[in-house]
Structure 1
Amino acid sequence: MIELFERYFGIHNKPSASDSNWAKPILDSCDFEFQKCIVEKLQPLLYLELDLCFVEKNKKESFCEVFTEEIITANLNGIESEAAFLKPASSNPPYPVVVVLHDHGGFYYWGKERIFMDDSTQPFIKEYREKFYSSKRWALDLLERGVAVFCPDAFYFGKRRLPQELIKTFVDYKTYEQLTSLDKGSYEFIKLFNRISSELEGIIFKNINFYGTNWPSILINEDIAWLNYLLKREDVDKERIACMGFSLGGFRTLFLSALKKEIKASLVIAFMSGFSKMLGQTSRHTFMVHIPGFTRFLDLPDIAGLIIPRKLFVMQCEYDSLFPIDAMKSAVAKIEEYYSKAGCRHNFSYKFYPNPHQFNSYMQEDAMNYLFLNV
């Protein structure tokens, strides 16, 4: 059984004697004492390798409307995953790039596809965009401005979704038979697969802990490995890389930007709050964002403190049922304090939008304008 989980969780996520070394290069590059304090508190909570890098196995290229689409299949210590690299037709390499880290939304079957795939034949994609994105393929807005988009699948989604051999381990025989009797990729298959994946999140969370690590460490390690892959490409402008994400993608953006200084500008959408204030109804979040013991030592605004002095824009949803409004307001106030203390208040901005948890067309317009000016 351990071999099966190692193939899925990743043997590099198994804590080892070298885990204490990941923080050293970040500590050496810290500009401020408060940043060193944050890193020292974060170090025992995450199990990371900053040098991890996906190795390209193959890529499939196709031409779509105003961009060229590359679907990259790559390997990381036996793990296979995918990323999409969308290159604008209106500009030439090396491209400025926005790394888009996709959200959760209970949609496990696909990851990266939700931001760019044509939804005319994909009902689930269409329904998803109606709910969260004002029905837009919003990545195309960046491409039309001459900016490339890089979006990898996260652990537990898309190419890294829950394998059927593990599903068989956890669900009853009737449910497994029902899933395997459906055509893979059909509407009913995706609907059932998403339900099963949602129900199994808690069990997977426990098994990750038994394995000796935590869910955010797996997510962050793979995001790091994909960014390091991107940095090796000759068609990428290394001085013009930004990162953005909505919801779970905002959580991922926060940590990746904090740990990798190659990211020059960051956009965290609908995921900034004081975790320590989220006891009660608002603690309904996915297991994927839980770092055991985190709020004993740190909170999300502290992680944002590691992005300083680089640029950061936090977009908040005023009627977001996942976060208390006072916790969202105190979070951006704390980040503002950090930036002011560092003498670079002008590099931090935030805005509250009068809507629930979504990345709607008004937010998208502000996001595109911000990124266009900063990459």
Structure 2
Amino acid sequence: MSQPDVELSQQAHPPRPSAIAGYEDWPAYVQKHPRHQAASASAQELADALGVPSLSGVLGVPTEPSVPSGPEMPDAPAAPPSPDLTVHWEETYDGVTTSQLSWQLGFGPRTTGWLIRPAGAAGPLPGILALHCHGGNKFGGADRLVELPESHPSAEKARTGHYDGHALATDIARRGFAVLAHDTFAWGSRRFNLDVPPWRTASALEARQAQWREDGVAASDADVYNAAAGFHEDTVAKTAGLLGTSLAGMVAHDDLAALEILAGLPDVDQDRLGCIGFSGGGGRSLTLAALSPRIRSYVVTCMMTTFQSLLPAHLDAHSWLLQTPGLWRLGDWPELTARSAASRLLVQYALADELFPEDGMRQAHTILESLHPPGTYTGSFWPGGHVFTSGMQEEALDFLAATLHHPSSTAESSISRHSTSS
């Protein structure tokens, strides 16, 4: 083909933009790190179903051991070598010291996280991984959980709409914990570059922007990005499936890496680690606890039901974080908690939750009661919709304090006053 013909062809068929901009190195990473090696056979089944890539050689994490063939082994592994983290700034105010950190995983953009500790507290402290929700807000990530000198309007909006105005991670730190809140895969600092949207995303975004113009809506940069990211999540899920992983599996990979960072900090007690999350963050909390024996106690808020109850009307309300193809073959959603070595679990249900039918939540509660010995599972039902209310947060923080500050005590006595009747 002559040069003029090539130029004409390029004009007629311009090259399409990358469908995974910012993550072009993602496929090679997954091929090089094929599968996370869990500490038990049951956790390995979940890792395989989600397609969680291995952390071997990432952030100083040593080569992972093979899955034991004998009984399940709940003991946490030794702390890995400290990763090469960057501390960007540190400030103390209102009783807590907040540090902005970042680290580079083996692919994609650099991860931003915040470490929040009680000011002047002597370690080692129990550690909590605070897991942000989906919230339809991928422009931001963990910043919605942290009190910062200057918060982006998207973080303020998320706090107001989903967390009753509270900065969850900062509030947990005020209860005597070292808390790490990080942006996970596809959110915040780890978001995809959609400045030039791929073909399907661009088409859907154009329609949304036309509707905004017709309605007189002045969309912010965050609004535009979140609209594009909502459409683009299908492309991310398709790419993940092609690579033998899943959106939930990639998010779990980032969460496992953050947990290793938290466990390796010098003022954190690696034997007293927990996690907490609301909505999509609650699903992340359950998954992380099932995949890592480091987690001793965890909270799942507004993210518990049976898979059957989502059919046929409620499935459309949920993202690919919950809807990993084939996951049901391992058992129902509440049954996945039996794969965790954690000794304590709190699940909080909102009776008027728009995303889950009440009968599904109550069925899940019954399953959880049958799976876990008395005193290890606590389920509480609250009025209201899909919001992590102040009362629910108080209950959750009491639970974490009772199970990680004083693990020999019973958490029910300290939290039952907040729970409504089931």
- Which range, TM-score by smaller chain? 0.7 to 0.9
CA–CA separation in structure 1 for the residues paired with 2:308 and 2:172? 35
Q: State the partner residue of 1:314.
A: 347
CA contact (8 A) 2:350 2:381 kept: yes
Structure 2, unmatched stretches of 5+, are: 1-17, 60-82, 210-217, 405-422
Q: CA separation in 1, counterparts of 2:159 and 2:182?
A: 18
RMSD, matched Cα? 2.8
- Whole-angstrom CA distance in 1 between matches of 2:162 and 2:386: 8
Number of equivalences = 350
Change (3 A) 1:188 1:85: same
Q: Which residue is equivalent to 1:30?
A: none
Deviations 1:48-99 (A, max 9, x none): 3454443434111221412222222111213321211112104122222111
For residue 48 of structure 1, what is the aligned residue in structure 2? 52
Match among 363, 370, 375 for residue 399 of structure 2: 370
Q: State the distance in 1 between where 2:25 and 2:97 align.
A: 31
Pick from 247, 252, 256: which aligns with 1:224? 256
- Structure 1 window deviating more from structure 2 (351-360 vs 116-125): it is 116-125
Q: How far off its partner does 1:208 sit?
A: 2.1
Give the aligned partner of residue 161 of structure 1. 191
8 Å CA contact 1:98, 1:147 repeated in 2: yes
Q: Would the aligned equivalents of 1:62 and 1:69 in 2 still touch at CA under 8 Å?
A: yes
The structure with the largest helix share of the pair is 1
Cα distance in structure 2, aligned partners of 1:109 and 1:117: 18
8 Å Cα contact 1:123/1:187 also seen in 2: no
CA distance 1:42–1:118, shift in 2 (3 Å): closer
Matched residue, 1:26: 40
Q: What stretches of structure 1 of length at least 5 have no aligned partner?
A: 28-35, 179-185
Greater gyration radius: 2
TM superposition shift of 1:280: 2.0
Structure 1, residues 182-235: CA drift from partner, whole Å, max 9, x if none? Answer: xxxx97111111111112222222222223321111011111111112222212
| Residue of 335, 347, 360 corresponding to 2:376 | 347
**Counterpart position of 1:32:** none
Q: Does 1:260 align with 2:292?
A: yes
Taking the aligned partners of 2:275 and 2:179, their CA distance within structure 1 comes to 10
**Aligned-pair CA distance for 1:116:** 1.2
Measured at CA, do residues 187 and 98 of structure 1 come closer, stay the same or move farther in structure 2, by a change above 3 Å? farther
The yes-or-no answer on 1:63 pairing with 2:78 is no
Alignment of 1:151-190 (within 5 A): 151-164=181-194, 167=197, 170-171=201-202, 188-190=220-222
Cα distance in 2 between the residues matched to 1:107 and 1:143: 24
Q: 1:56 to 1:289 in 2, by over 3 A?
A: farther
Q: Residue type of the partner of 1:367?
A: A
Q: Kindly provide the amino acid, as one letter, of the partner of residue 348 in structure 1.
A: Y
Q: Is contact 2:283-2:322 (8 Å) kept?
A: yes
Bigger mean CA deviation after superposition, 101-110 or 293-302 = 293-302
**2:333 — aligned with what?**
300
Structure-2 residue corresponding to 1:272: 304
Structure 2 length-normalised TM: 0.75
| 1:96–1:236 Cα contact (<8 Å) kept | yes
Looking at structure 1, the residues matched to 355 and 285 of structure 2 have their Cα atoms a distance apart, in angstroms, of 18
**Could you tell me how far apart the structure 2 residues matched to 1:164 and 1:40 are?**
34
CA spacing shift, 1:97–1:166, aligned 2, 3 Å: farther
Instruction: Measure the CA separation in 1 of the matches of 2:260 and 2:283.
Output: 19
- Is residue 285–residue 322 contact of structure 1 (8 Å, CA) maintained in 2? yes
Q: Distance in 2 between matches of 1:280 and 1:82?
A: 38
Secondary structure, counterpart of 1:213 in structure 2: coil
1:144 aligns with 2:174: yes
Q: CA deviation at 1:43?
A: 5.3
Q: TM-score if structure 1 supplies the norm length?
A: 0.84
Tell me if structure 1 keeps the 8 A contact 2:27–2:243: no
Contact 1:15 1:47 in 2 (8 A): no
2:20–2:192 Cα contact (<8 Å) kept? no
Q: Cα distance, 1:117 vs. partner?
A: 3.5
CA contact (8 A) 1:41 1:298 kept: no
Answer with 99-108 or 140-149: which moved more. 140-149
Match of 2:119 in 1: 89
Question: What residue in structure 2 maps to residue 282 of structure 1?
Answer: 314
Rounded to whole Å, the distance in 2 between the matches of 1:253 and 1:49 is: 18
Compared CA separation, residues 355 and 229, structure 1 to 2 (3 A): same
Q: What is the aligned partner in structure 1 of residue 368 from structure 2?
A: 335
Q: Distance in 2 between matches of 1:297 and 1:116?
A: 35
Is 1:135 matched up with 2:135?
no
Contact 1:230-1:236 within 8 A present in 2 as well = yes
Name the structure 1 match of 2:213. Answer: none
Corresponding letter in the other structure for 1:56: D
- State the shift of 1:8 in Å: 5.8
Q: CA deviation at 1:307?
A: 2.3
**What is the alpha-carbon distance in structure 1 between the residues aligned to residue 141 and residue 232 of structure 2?**
18
Pick aligned residue for 2:106 from 60, 66, 77: 77
Asked whether the equivalents of residues 115 and 139 of structure 1 are also in contact (C-alpha less than 8 Å), the reply is: yes
SS of residue in 2 equivalent to 1:350: strand
| Post-superposition CA distance 1:329-366 (Å, at most 9, x none) | 111211211113xxxx2111110101101101110111
**Using a 3 Å threshold, how does the CA distance of structure 1 residues 150 and 214 change in structure 2: closer, same or farther?**
same
Identity of aligned residues (%): 25
Q: How far has the Cα of 1:173 moved from its partner?
A: 12
Structure 1 residues 257-300: Cα deviation after superposition (integer angstroms, max 9, x where no partner) = 11111111101111111113211221120122221111233221
Against the structure 1 CA distance between its residues 289 and 89, is the aligned structure 2 distance closer, same or farther, given a 3 Å change threshold?
same
